[in-house]
Amino acid sequence: MQGQGNGRGSEILPAEGKLGVMLVGLGAVSTTFIAGVESIRNGRSQPIGSVTQMSTIRLGKRTEGRIPLVKDFVPLAALDDLEFAAWDPIPDDAYQSAKVCGVLRPEDLDPQADFLRGIQPLPAVFDRRYVKKLEGANVKSGANKLELAEQLREDIRRFKEEKGCSRLVVVWAASTEVFMQRHDVHATVASFEKAMAENHDAIAPSMIYAYAALKEGVPFANGAPNLTVDIPAMLELAEQTGTPIGGKDFKTGQTLMKTILAPGLKARMLGLNGWFSTNILGNRDGEVLDDPESFKTKEESKLGVLEYILQPSVYPQLYDKIYHKVRINYYPPRGDNKEGWDNIDLFGWMGYPMQIKIDFLCRDSILAAPIVLDLALFMDLAKRAGLRGIQEWLSFYFKSPQVASGLYPEHDLFIQHWKLKNTLRWLMGEEQITHLGTEYYADYQ
């Protein structure tokens, strides 16, 4: 992440005019997000789960009593200024799709029906080889991947103009693609573009969207575990075009719990032998993840968390024998109402064993929707503040945060939260809060 000058207190362009939020994928997460924003705008709901809307931020000393809302402290787009568009290979409008996804009850969805019907998905860049369990007719065609990117860029420009937006952000909330590793063609923008022109298999649809967004200077956040913007070519392009990027994989459900609990166990120097996590879910995401190749992408994203939080190489007596297992089971009767079980085998003083059991009856898209909102607003803030490249301060929202090469990702939710708020203070030229607190005690003066 780089700023203008030292970034601190440097000028941030105002959030004037409309912000267009372009979503890749118009499924459970996207429709729950859009319906929720509209419900909030109409005074029917509260923005629960959203840091930008509900959280306060302490400024200065505890005695100063300065604790504004985040949205009053940093210049963010107002909810009334948001416009929405989406791409999806399934031609259902946002209302139909939300009904099929079955996340929201009719009494919460129907008041927004007309608004949601107005959001028709744009034809997608879609290829079944990358998401095996899906089929859809609303798909673009082109001679090669570079041409498809051009079509996406036209969509972006047209939407901006038609809705009169002054700024845009793109959020990937589409299905998880099959597992892919970095390839030589991902090394530079030039090799990436050549590979696009040659229809190379190492260029996944998600990368074509990201390329199109970055070429247009539009921030891109990746809510799925796909590689997408986590390749050198995208970093180079983000630098060139002065564009923020962030990923990967929205941190909801079981991983959220893991990054809340594991730092606490580690803080108390309690040992762990194993952490077994299993889930049942029955939505389309669950069906896509039933394909082993898509699951592998998800598994990689979920498994790293404990390793980085617990640091077994630093604390071998406590953590070098952890057996960590994650399963996701597609079970249609559950729909979006996932159930996640965790069995944690821990040990304490003199090695005595203990167990913790978690049974989280969670609603995935209800947890993901406020993350989409916060990411859209903060990515737009980052762009206006002159930040470009990886926005590590937004790690708070991701299961598998992207970081600069040579750095390990910070997974501890509390460190991530601290980093996020200190970045906001830094952006606005306010003092960092260290929680040292000696200034309140005369003996230390």
Amino acid at 189: V
The yes or no reply on residue 148 touching ligand NAD (CB under 6 A) is no
Figure out which of the listed residues 38, 88, 392, 430 binds ligand NAD, where binding follows CB under 6 A. Answer: 88
The yes or no reply on residue 37 touching ligand NAD (CB under 6 A) is no
Helices (H), 42-184: 51-54, 70-73, 94-101, 106-109, 113-117, 145-163
Q: How many separate helices (H) and strands (E) can be counted in the chain?
A: 16, 10
Q: Evaluate whether 355 touches 55 at the Cβ level (below 8 Å).
A: no
The yes or no reply on residue 104 touching ligand NAD (CB under 6 A) is no
Q: How far apart are CA 157 and CA 56, in angstroms?
A: 35
Q: How far apart are CA 371 and CA 32, in angstroms?
A: 11
Figure out which of the listed residues 29, 34, 156, 212 binds ligand NAD, where binding follows CB under 6 A. Answer: 29
Could you check whether the bond before residue 163 is cis, i.e. omega within 30 degrees of 0? Answer: no
Residue 287: how many other CB atoms lie within 10 Å: 16
For 179, phi then psi, to 5°, come to -65, 130
Nearer to ligand NAD, 26 or 74 (CB): 26
Figure out which of the listed residues 12, 15, 24, 148 binds ligand NAD, where binding follows CB under 6 A. Answer: 24
What value, to the nearest 5°, has the Cα angle with vertex 80 and ends 78 and 84? Answer: 100
Residues 163-222 close enough to bind ligand NAD by CB under 6 A: 173-176, 205
User: Applying CB under 6 A, which part among 5-13, 23-31, 343-351, 433-441 lies near ligand NAD?
Assistant: 23-31
The beta strands (E) that lie in 266-319 are given as 271-281
Nearest approach, Cβ of residue 311 and ligand NAD (Å):
25
The yes or no reply on residue 134 touching ligand NAD (CB under 6 A) is yes
The yes or no reply on residue 368 touching ligand NAD (CB under 6 A) is yes
User: Applying CB under 6 A, which part among 83-91, 159-167, 265-273, 374-382 lies near ligand NAD?
Assistant: 83-91
Residues 236-255 close enough to bind ligand NAD by CB under 6 A: 249-250, 252
Residues 336-365 close enough to bind ligand NAD by CB under 6 A: 364-365
Q: How far apart are CA 299 and CA 305, in angstroms?
A: 11
Which parts of this chain interact with ligand NAD (CB under 6 A)? 24-29, 87-90, 101, 124-126, 131, 134, 136, 173-176, 205, 223-224, 249-250, 252, 283-285, 288, 364-365, 367-368
